[in-house]
Amino acid sequence: MQLPPGKIRRFIFILSGATDALIGAGILLVGLGWVPIDFGTGGPPTWALILIGAVMFIAGVWMAAYNFSRWEE
């Protein structure tokens, strides 16, 4: 069974968005202090981890949801 190129592209975007959301959630959990990772004195500031994690999570969920909603096109 062959999938048309449009569905393959959508599947890749869904997979990419889900991966970004998972990585963003992990970074966000580290920034909020729920996952105890110590960067020492030279690590990134907490606000930067929270900002990067939140942006990655929101963008990943949006990309996955948008492409999943267009699956039948």
CB within 8 Å of 9: residues ≥ 6 apart = none
Classify burial at 16, counting beta carbons within 10 Å of its beta carbon; exposed 0-12, middle 13-18, buried 19 or more: middle
What is the span of the domain harbouring residue 25?
5-35+44-69
Number of domains the chain contains? 1
Q: Answer whether 0.95 is exceeded by the pTM.
A: no
In the chain, which stretches have pLDDT less than 70? none
- The pLDDT tens digits of the residues spanning 14-28 come to 999 999 999 999 999
